[in-house]
Structure formats: C-alpha cells, structure tokens
Copies of this chain bind each other. A is one copy, B any other.
C-alpha cells in the first residue's frame, strides 16, 4: 500500500503527458488548417503560400518537437540514460531542421515580395530564440554527448541547460503568439473584431499553445516527476569522460 502515492503520481504524470500530446498535435493541425484552408495552402514559390510554410514549421519544430524533446527524460525514466540522451538530441535536431526550413521560407517570401526583414517584435524575438536554440543544442552536444567537458563542468552546466531549455520553449510559444497576432492584423484587421471563423480559430490556436507550454512547464518542474538519479548508471555510462572524475551531474 505504501507505494500508492508514487503510483498515483505516475498516473497523473501519464495523464498530463497525454494531455500535452493532444494539445501539441491539435496546435500543429490547427496551424495547418489555418494556413491550408484560410490562407491559401502551401507552395515553395516566393508567394504567400511559401510564407504559410513558416508558421507550420515553427509550431511543429520550435514548439511541439522542442517540447517533446524536453519531455523524453521524464517519460522514459526507466530507459538507460544514454539512449534517452540520444533521443533528446535527435528530436532537438529535427526541431532545429524544421525551424531553419521555417526561417528560410519567411526570408525567401520577404525577398520575393520586397518586404523588409527583422523590423517587428515577432522577428526580434524569433531570431533571438533560434540563435539561442542553436547555441543550446551545440552546447548540449559538447557537454553531454561528446566527452569534451569535465564531470564538474557538466554538473555545473546542467541546471543552466535545463533552465535555458524551458525558457526557450516559453520564448517559442510567446513568439508564436506574436506571429499569430501579426498574421491576423496583416490579413483580416477589418473583420477580426467581428469574430470571424479565421480570427477565432487563430485565437484558439494561441490558447492551445499557451496550455501546451503550461502543461509542459508543470511536467518539467514538478519534483515528483523527476527521473530518479541512478549512481550506478552514471558511473557505467559511456557518455562520461572518465569513470573517476567524480561529482556526477544530477538528472534533468
């Protein structure tokens, strides 16, 4: 009977992970419907249809995939850490590729339509987020997958990496919301205040993204959902520089 509290906690965790996936997938689908149905679909030809690839890639890459990459440590808490770490890096790589495609799409569209770049708050936040995301990915690779840093350095960097990961997810959600508002005001400003289907759909998308961020934030900060530390695994794991360095990093 004494393990009923952890079991309840695992059930709550599983339920919330399910909710997060529904929210994340619904956000991607809604972005697709918005761009596909209301904004004229997708194409890679310098037209507005090329712009439409941008929101879809960003929501899929920088929000959904980034969120799931963060989540794997807590979802696969019984898998060997080395495998989970690899999965974390691979999903982040997919997120990075998707984001770069999204960035190229919008810059290419701007070039063709002779629209200036990087003047809006959305673009400032988006560019900052992508640059920091790249930096975070490279730093993560160097510190945790390749044996570059000492155990002490890895242990010191880990809380920074974890905080920056969550901060980048929040910044991605916030930047997406700015993008939604920009797109609506550029395209349907005269009818937005009349609660047109496109405006309501885009607002709902924004709320879903906020909820996705909140659920992920809760799952990632709640102490009882944390992957339990396993000193034996830490000592045996091949991803550490040496076995005698001491001061093994804690687990995200």
Binding site for B on A (CB under 8 A): 115-116, 119-122, 124-125, 128, 159, 163, 167, 170-171, 173-174, 177-178, 180-182, 184-186, 189, 192-195, 199, 202-203, 206-207, 210, 214, 217-218, 221-223
Q: Are B121 and A195 in contact, with the CB atoms below 8 A? A: no
CB within 8 A of A120: which of B115, B120, B174, B192? B192
Q: Are A206 and B159 in contact, with the CB atoms below 8 A? A: no
Q: Which residue of B lies closest to A196 (CB)?
A: B119
Q: Are A193 and B121 in contact, with the CB atoms below 8 A? A: no
Q: Which residue of B lies closest to A185 (CB)?
A: B185
Contacts of A182 in B (CB 8 A): 181, 185
Known A163-B217, A178-B177, A181-B178; contact A171-B210, beta-carbon cutoff 8 A: yes
Nearest CB of B to A184, in Å: 7
Nearest CB of B to A158, in Å: 12
